[in-house]
């Protein structure tokens, strides 16, 4: 509470909710995450890699936050290796991209496929200066 002002409002609210969570609710959430992680690992093991958009929307032009992370969060919470690659520029001049997800412990495969994608996509990005 002493340093609450050091955090942005959204993070403060998340911390407040976390501190208010009782042990039973927390335990049930952990169980759900474990089941979800097992399901996502099975899904990831059905392909060399999975490909998803990096985000559901174009990048936010004001750069005050990273935008909607719903496409990254599930994979991160499961512990699956991921990498994001640029695929072009939005109208704002900011990059948009794809995310590759690999099965557990397949980081070498993920990086090899990402390198192949970079060569095939061959995106030349120029940072938006002065925007």
pLDDT digits (tens, 9 = 90+) for 10-41: 888 988 999 999 999 999 999 999 999 999 99
Does some domain include residue 127?
no
The three-state secondary structure class of 7 is coil
Which residues contact residue 69 at a Cβ distance below 8 angstroms, ignoring those fewer than 6 apart?
Answer: 55
Does some domain include residue 98?
yes
pTM for the model: 0.74
Does some domain include residue 130?
no
Does some domain include residue 101?
yes
Does some domain include residue 100?
yes
Question: Between 8 and 102, where is the model more confident?
Answer: 102
Q: Residue 92, Cα to own-chain centre: how many angstroms?
A: 21
How many distinct structural domains can be found in the chain? 1
Transcribe 49-80 into DSSP letters: -EEEES-SSPPPTT-SS----TTTHHHHHHT-
Domain that holds residue 70: 4-121
Distance of alpha carbon 37 from alpha carbon 30, whole angstroms: 10
Specify which of 58-62, 80-84, 94-98, 124-128 reaches the highest per-range mean pLDDT: 80-84
Does some domain include residue 126?
no
pLDDT beyond 80 at 71: no
Q: What pLDDT, on the 0 to 100 scale, is given for residue 63? A: 64
């Amino acid at each position: 509470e002493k340093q609450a002002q050091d955090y942005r409002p959204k993070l403060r609210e998340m911390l407040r909710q976390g501190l208010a969570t009782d042990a039973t609710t927390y335990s049930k959430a952990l169980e759900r995450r474990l089941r979800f992680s097992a399901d996502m690992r099975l899904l990831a093991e059905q392909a060399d890699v999975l490909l998803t958009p990096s985000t559901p929307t174009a990048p936010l032009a004001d750069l005050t936050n990273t935008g909607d992370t719903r496409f990254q969060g599930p994979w991160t919470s499961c512990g699956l290796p991921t990498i994001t690659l640029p695929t072009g520029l939005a109208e704002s001049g900011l990059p948009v991209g794809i995310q590759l997800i690999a099965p557990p412990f397949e980081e070498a495969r993920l990086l090899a496929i990402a390198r192949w994608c970079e060569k095939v996509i061959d995106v030349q990005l120029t940072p938006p200066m002065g925007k």
